[in-house]
Structure formats: C-alpha cells, structure tokens
Structure 1
Amino acid sequence: MKQKVSFRFLWMGQSFANLGDVFYIVGLVAILYMESGSAFYVAVLPFLNTFGRFAGGIASPILFSAFSLKRVLACSQILKTILLVMLCSIYIGTNVSVVFVFACIVFIAFLDGFASPAMTAMVPRLVEYDEIVRANSFLSVVTETIQLGGWAVGGLLVALFNGPSILWITCVLFILSSIMMALLQDPVHNTSNQKNTKAFISQLTKGWKLIWFSPLYRTIHILLLLEVMASVVWIAAILYVFVAEVLQVSEAWWGYINTTFFIGLLIGGIGCSKLFRFVEHHTRTLFLLSSIGVCAVTVWFGLNYVPWIALFLSILVGILGQIKSITIDSILQKRSSTEDLPILYGAQGALLSLSFGVSSLLFGAMTEWKGAPIAFMAAGSILGLAAIIGWINKKNLPKNID
C-alpha cells in the first residue's frame, strides 16, 4: 500500500467512529424515552438522522472544493465530539430539553453527511490501484463486525448503566477517532481557488451533473436509488411486523434475523477479500448476478412462513448485498478522478438519504394497510426493475476493473 500507515489510521478512526455511532444511537434512544416516555420521539430519531445526512450531502461539494479530505474528516469528527460533550455536560444536574437533543441529532447527522463520502473517497488515495477491492472488502468486514457486536454491547451497557453514561463512552470513542483522522496524511493537495459566489453555487450541482451526464455514473446511481428504496423493508418497523404477523414467533426472532443478516455481510466481505482478483476480473458479471439474486431472495423471504428458512434467506441477502456494494464502490473508485470522487460520493449520499427517508414512510404505510408480505413483494418488484435496467445498460458497466 502506498500510504500504509495512513490507511491504518483511516480504518482505525472509522472503527472508533462507527462504534461510537452505535453507542450514540443506543444512548439517545434510552434518553429520549426516559425524558419523554413517548415512542413517537424515539421514532423521530431516524427521520432527523436522515434529514441531517441529506443536508450534509448537499453541502459537501462546497467543503470538498475548499478543504482537503483530511481536514474535512478531522474537523467533522472533532465537531461531533464537541456537540456530544455539550450534550453530556448539560445533562449533568438537569433535564435536557427534547428540542435540544433533536438539534444535536440533526447537526451530528449533518456532519456525517459529508464525513462519510470523504472517508470512502479517501480509500483510493491511500492504497495501490490493484488493492482497492481488497481494501474495500477489509473495511466492509471491519464495519459489519462492529455493527454485529456493537448493538449487543450497547444494549448491555444501557442495561448496566444508563443513556447518559453510554454517551460519555461515545465521547471517548469520538476523541480517539478524531486523533486517528488528524494523524492520517492525504497525498492529494487541494488546489481549488473557487472564491466567488457563482463558483460556489456551481460546486453544489457538480456532483449531480457528474451523475447525470456520465452513462456509467447514471446507470449505477439509478440502480442504487431503486435498491435503497427496496431496502427499507429490512428496517425495524417492517421486519418486526413480519416476524410477529407472518412468521408468528417471538420478537427475539427479529434479533436473530438481524444477526444473520450481518453474518451474511461478513461472509460476503471476507469472500470478496479472499477472492479480490476474481472480483476484479468479473466485476460486471458479479454485479448483475448479485442484483438478480437479491431480487429473488427478497421475494422468497416475503413468501416464506418458516422461521428457520427466514434466517437462511437473511444470510443470503447479506452476502449478495455485500458483493454488490463492494463492486459498486470499487468501480467508482477505479473509474473516477481524485477530484471528482468526493463530490460524487457527496451527491450520492444526499440522493440515497432522501430516497431512504421517503421510502421508509411509503413502505411503512404499505405495511400498515396491506401487510408485511405485500411490502416485501413490492420491494422485490423494485429490485427486479433494477436488475432489468442493469442488464439493459450493462454496456455502460465495465467488464472488469483490474
């Protein structure tokens, strides 16, 4: 790797931040419910998080044109830490206003809205060209391992302590992440000299123009948009209803399905890491087959009434989804210029956050009115449409990325 030490700082900093984000959500849920006693306030949390990320994605091109990725990463993590310390400090000796908590949620999500694309765009700057697939696979395995264990540990910590205590632990993790981000070196120096308002405004639309006018980017993002719309069937509200009303088992099975899904993600990430040369040589084929596979498995899951089969299918969805995600990131990182990649990821983050938020409401209403199986059938239909579009436009996708 051309920047081995910096890549180590990147994945360590990302790991501390990801674990902190899990604890942060767990702690906030406990605080909101303790302060308000309302399930509605808890349900507002993902909406505010989505809104903040969308706003951050919209603003990201201006930041990427004015500052280096390292500075964006370090400053965003430091600001997240400061906001969280403020929230924890104000909580001591008094009750926190729910409005203040909501404001902190939005601002922290806003910072994540441009930190996440910056982190992903940093990968090809720190690793050799032929190591990008392996690096993405490694980062995916680390992330999913943290997700798999973080929620369980977070729940245990809440049971042993309380919400504010978990947030103080999150502060420590955010501080460690900030240090890691400050230590990494960005080999690409920002040479932008955009000074006037018109130039800044043009930066806001640059990512969207890149997506629309490039056949490769347009095809990938149309498929991503459809897949994110369909992915909302796996959120807690819909999956919980499916477990209770269709599988007719205890709510513990909701946790089992989530766990097996993350196990599938891990298997997919490890497989891509071990077979990264195969992934590089058969990128388009793997992408199209995984798209078709996710569609078929989602429909099968919606038609299934057997709990143990549901666990097997959730593993398959995780494996196929991870393969698709790694191939998409690797294509974008290998086919995009160093300057365009952060802006491209920023626009992507805004687009997908908005899509996920709107789709969550629509699929939630569909589940309420028509039932969870219909929601899964609708998701499968959308994924089928994505697979068809991908197949029709396969000429826009590279056969390989070696």
Structure 2
Amino acid sequence: MGKTFWFYTGSKSLLMLSDIVFVMTITFVIYQDTQSATYAALFPLIRTLCQLLAGLISPVLIDRFQAYRLLKWLPLARLVMMILFTTQFHFFQQHIVWLFGALILISMTGGFISPLLQAIMPMLVQANQLVQANSTASIFQQIVQIAGYSFTGILVLWIGSTYLLAFTCLMIVCSYLLFLPVLPLLQEENTTQRTNQLNSFKDGWTVIWKNKMIRTLTFMDVCENIAGSVWIGAITLAFVTHDLNRSEDWWGFINAAYYTGAIIGGLLAAWFSRFIQKQLLLFMATGSFIYAVLTILFAMNSLPWLALLLCILMGPAYQIRDVSQQTILQTATPTRDLSKVYSAHYVLSSVSAGLSIFFVGFIADTFGARFVYLLGGLFVLVCSGIAILAFMMQKKRAAV
C-alpha cells in the first residue's frame, strides 16, 4: 500500500472524527438550550433524512459533474458553511429555525461526500491488497469512534461548544489537505457526462438488481442493519440495568469492550489478509455465523463479566465479516458504478436502520431488551445462512 492510501485513510479518519464531534456538540447544545430530549433527537433524525435524500440525488450529480470535481469542491463548500456556522453560532443558538436550516445544508453536503469517498478504495490499492487495506482503514475508523464518542462530551464542558466547532473546522481543513494527493487518481477515472438524469438515478439500483452477488450482499446488509439497531444506546442501557442488574457505568464498559474487540478484529484481518483474500465468501460466512452465535449467547447471559467477554469476541467476528463483505462488493462492482452502488446501499441502510430502530424500541418495551438481542442474533443467523449458501454455490461452480 502506497502513500496515496495513507493520505486517503488519514483524510477520511479526520473527516469522520470531525463529523462525530460536530454531531455530539450540536446535540448537546440543543439539549442544553431547550432542555428538551425531543428537540435534541430531532437533529440526528433530520441529519439522517438529509443524508438519505443526498444518497438518492448523488448518482445524478456524479454523472453531471464527475467524482473529481465533486470531491474537489463539495468539501470546500462544506468548510465554508461550517466556518460561517461557527462564527455566527450565537445567532443560530437564539433562532432554532435558522439553526436547523443550517444543519440541513451541512448534512446534505456530508451525504453527497460519503458514497464518493467509499468508492475510492479500489483505485488506491491492487485487488489482492483490498482485504489488508479495508481492515487497516477499519482500525483507524474504530479508534476515531472511540476517541470521538468518549471525549467529545467532556471537551464540550471544558472548552465550550464554539471552540470545539472551530476545532471541527480545523480538522476539515487538515482532511482536505490530506486528500489533495488523491484527487489526480480521480481525474484519471473521468467518465463521459450523461444527459439522461433518469438513467443516472437508476444506475446503482440496476447494478444491484442485475448482479446476483451484489444483490445478495445488499439483502444481507439490510438484514444486518435491522439486527444492528438492537445496539442503540437505550436498548443496551435497559439490558445493563434490568437484565445484568448493574449500574449505568457498565453501559460504558459494554461499549468500550465492543470497540476494543473491533480494533483487535481489524488487526487480525490485516494480519491474515492473504488468507482472507483467497476465501472471501468463506470468511464472510464464518464471521457472520460466529457473530450471530455470540449475540444469541449475549441475549441469554446474565453474568456481567461474561457479557464484556462476549462483546470483545464479537468485535473480531464482525470485523472479519465486514471486511470480507466490503472487499467482495468492491471487486464485484465495476469501478465506474461503485459510488452509485454505495449511494443505493446508503439509502437502503438508512431506511432499514431508521424503521428498525422504531420497531426495536416497541419490542423492547413490550418483551424486554433480552428478547430484542435474541431477535437480532437470529436475524444475523439468517444472514450467515445466506452467506454459507453463496459459498457452497461458488464452490460447486468451481468444481464443475
């Protein structure tokens, strides 16, 4: 892996960290100003809806303006918005309508940038290095998430929201500077502009529907997003307090244990990348199956220390599954269509996750958090069954 990969990984990690800090800071400020959990919850909801809309529109923009131009100018536009937002933050704090209007614009630009960035990885490394590259990038992302979610709340109280937003702008500047060496690669991938916007809109969905492997991966992603909603904070907190009979501190321990396992998983995936690269479907199926079994055991368990151990073990299983799945998607999709496929994936993920969060809350209130985790484990078990069938079919075709 060359220098360009490290520039890309550093840029994307900084951008992710700036996004986490921004979201947590604004959520904290809205709650502090309004003393309303409803208003505070509105921002993540609006942000998700805006990114969903951006995911629908981005294929048209990609064909109209091309990825090179979009990734050259969109981050700058977002930076200008962030600087204006930060310098006029006192005004926005006093006018909630203007605040949400600004947040909508900032969230939309983030939604346009995300699928474009995800599609770049196959351009940076050779096909036989994709597993190592994806797992290495995943390690950085997990570290960023731990740092962002662990320290932002403390920093808001220590240095104040305005200074923290200024720091967010600085991170976006550094992210853009690190991304500049990557831009020439995108210029080489220039494609012909289209005039038919309807075809541009349908491209990603068409690839998913026609390519059997991508269609299978997409269905698995939807199922796993539904299962992943069981890990939202409220459900985990309810499980810790009611089923494990421990204080709220253990909520933090559970999260820390999972992220620790995720980092270990990323390191293992990078270490064994050559073996994983040769049997992507096998490792995806195995990782998914182990993760499902561990989730079911977690649901049935009542021992706090065992819950921590199971969360640590979930990390490597999930990371190996995720890295394998990402690599299969990247290799099975033509490079010119990858950003559009990611856009379609993002739309499906947002819809499935959003709807499942609502139903998961209802199920938890009715049947308890333990039943929710059991249901999530069974969903992942279905996904692992699909992956095992796909592996067996691939093996059968290879034998013919």
Q: TM-score, normalised by structure 2?
A: 0.93
Letter in 2 for 1:316: L
Q: 1:146 to 1:270 in 2, by over 3 A?
A: same
> Which structure 2 residues correspond to residues 314-353 of structure 1 after superposition, within 5 A?
314-353=311-350
Q: Secondary structure at the match of 2:189?
A: coil
Q: Could you tell me which residue of structure 2 aligns to residue 181 of structure 1?
A: 179
Q: Secondary structure at the match of 2:88?
A: helix
> Is 2:94 the partner of 1:69?
no
User: Is residue 265–residue 315 contact of structure 2 (8 Å, CA) maintained in 1?
Assistant: yes
Q: 1:75 to 1:236 in 2, by over 3 A?
A: farther
User: Is residue 266–residue 319 contact of structure 2 (8 Å, CA) maintained in 1?
Assistant: yes
Q: Could you tell me which residue of structure 2 aligns to residue 281 of structure 1?
A: 278
Q: Secondary structure at the match of 2:194?
A: coil
Q: 1:94 to 1:17 in 2, by over 3 A?
A: closer
> Is 2:243 the partner of 1:246?
yes
Q: How many residues align?
A: 394
Structure 1 or 2: more helix by fraction: 2
Q: Could you tell me which residue of structure 1 aligns to residue 190 of structure 2?
A: 190
Q: Secondary structure at the match of 2:193?
A: coil
- % identical aligned pairs: 28
Name the CA distance, whole Å, in 2 between partners of 1:357 and 1:95. Answer: 27
User: Is residue 65–residue 193 contact of structure 2 (8 Å, CA) maintained in 1?
Assistant: no
Q: Could you tell me which residue of structure 2 aligns to residue 152 of structure 1?
A: 150
The offset of 1:254, in angstroms, is 1.0
Name the CA distance, whole Å, in 2 between partners of 1:217 and 1:93. Answer: 47
User: Is residue 54–residue 108 contact of structure 2 (8 Å, CA) maintained in 1?
Assistant: yes
The offset of 1:398, in angstroms, is 8.1
Q: Could you tell me which residue of structure 2 aligns to residue 88 of structure 1?
A: 86
Name the CA distance, whole Å, in 2 between partners of 1:201 and 1:162. Answer: 46
1:324-348 deviations in Å (ceiling 9; x for gaps): 1100111121222111111111111
Mind listing any 5+ residue stretches in structure 2 that lack a counterpart?
none
1:223-260 deviations in Å (ceiling 9; x for gaps): 11100100011111211111111112111111111111
The offset of 1:211, in angstroms, is 0.7
Name the CA distance, whole Å, in 2 between partners of 1:24 and 1:88. Answer: 11
Pairing partner for 2:213 from 211, 216, 219: 216
The 10-residue stretch of structure 1 (383-392 or 8-17) with the greater mean CA deviation from structure 2: 383-392
Over the residues paired in the alignment, what is the CA RMSD in angstroms?
1.9
Name the CA distance, whole Å, in 1 between partners of 2:38 and 2:374. Answer: 28
Q: 1:258 to 1:397 in 2, by over 3 A?
A: farther
The offset of 1:275, in angstroms, is 1.0
Q: 1:322 to 1:96 in 2, by over 3 A?
A: farther
> Which structure 2 residues correspond to residues 354-365 of structure 1 after superposition, within 5 A?
354-365=351-362
The offset of 1:73, in angstroms, is 2.7
Q: Secondary structure at the match of 1:95?
A: helix
Q: Secondary structure at the match of 2:72?
A: helix
Which stretches of structure 1, 4 residues or longer, exceed 6 Å deviation after superposition? Answer: none
Q: 1:43 to 1:156 in 2, by over 3 A?
A: same
The 10-residue stretch of structure 1 (109-118 or 334-343) with the greater mean CA deviation from structure 2: 109-118
Name the CA distance, whole Å, in 2 between partners of 1:74 and 1:269. Answer: 30
Q: 1:14 to 1:36 in 2, by over 3 A?
A: same
Q: Could you tell me which residue of structure 1 aligns to residue 14 of structure 2?
A: 16
Q: 1:245 to 1:5 in 2, by over 3 A?
A: same
Q: 1:74 to 1:248 in 2, by over 3 A?
A: farther
Mind listing any 5+ residue stretches in structure 1 that lack a counterpart?
none
The offset of 1:9, in angstroms, is 2.2
Q: Secondary structure at the match of 1:174?
A: helix
> Which structure 2 residues correspond to residues 102-251 of structure 1 after superposition, within 5 A?
102-184=100-182, 185-187=184-186, 188-195=188-195, 199-251=196-248
User: Is residue 30–residue 162 contact of structure 1 (8 Å, CA) maintained in 2?
Assistant: no
Q: TM-score, normalised by structure 1?
A: 0.93
